[in-house]
Amino acid sequence: MAKQPHKSFHKGGPKSGHEDGAREGATNNHKDRGHKDRGQKDRGLDAPRRALQTALAEAGLTLKQASRLIGRNDAYLQQYLFRGSPRLLPETVRWQLAELTDTEQSSLAPDDLAKAGMVKNDLAKRVRASGESRPQPIAVPLFDVRAAAGGGAQLSEGAEDQTDSIGFPPALLHRITAAPANRLKLITITGDSMAPTLEDGDLVMIDGASIAPSPPGVFVLDDGVGLVAKRIDAVPNTHPRELMLSSDNPAYATYQRRSDEVHIVGRIIWFARSL
């Protein structure tokens, strides 16, 4: 018996050249739709997100790399760009990204914030372009008082204790905090009650508007005896609210005070130490 020529079969019968071409065309159409969808997705970004994409591309950074460099999780910028979370970049993040990409941080802020005057001027690029003098340091007041384990010092709300100020480069201060300079104070730590976190002689920066111990942190406060630096935790289910005041040095005892018995000066957000 003569051998029949071999035919290719698939479900429904033999595969024809016409069907192969149709299937290949469908695959190509699917790929084209994918590219088109991604293009539409990128075109749907608002101005700050497009500015960030451009800045990162020019800096040669991926979203993952940039997210890590600003201390966020790997998907932070990916989610910001394409999922809208967060809806707006915090000011501190904008300054970090501006430094990474050598761009203006105001370009990463929504237009309504910029128009309302809520975005600080980007001086660095204007200075390089115009040849003007460098941005002036931001003065943070330095007070001649010391926060200690035993207390005894007082920090007034007026200017009588202010002895000087220290000028911070704007870019550095914005990396430390987004708080305006008029909320900040610099004082010196004395004693070892907060060692090893804070050592005798450390210069600390206090945010005077951050006085709620939530989240817990290290604060400067007047505990009724004098000015101290302590870690403060709110004691749950207490009325009036009780505060747990503790030292990082285990040689010092933990104690409690009612919230109306203490005056919290502010949260310690930065310190400097001599080697």
Domain ranges in the chain? 47-130, 138-272
Per-residue burial over 120-157, b = 16 or more CB atoms within 10 Å of its CB, e = otherwise: bebbbeeeeeeeeeeeeebebbbbebbbbbebebebee
Cis peptide before 240 (omega within 30 of 0): yes
Mean local confidence (pLDDT), 151-176: 69
pLDDT at 17 over 70: no
pLDDT in tens, 109-139: 886 655 444 545 555 454 444 444 456 788 8
Question: Rounded CA gap, 209 and 205, in Å?
Answer: 12
DSSP state for residue 110 in the 8-state scheme: -
DSSP state for residue 98 in the 8-state scheme: H
pLDDT in tens, 24-68: 554 455 444 444 444 445 557 888 999 999 999 988 889 998 888
Confidence of residue 230 (pLDDT cuts 50, 70, 90): very high
Q: Which CATH class is domain 47-130?
A: mainly alpha
Residue 268 vs residue 174, higher pLDDT: 268
Q: What is the pLDDT at residue 98?
A: 86
Q: Tell me the fold of 138-272.
A: Umud Fragment, subunit A (2.10.109)
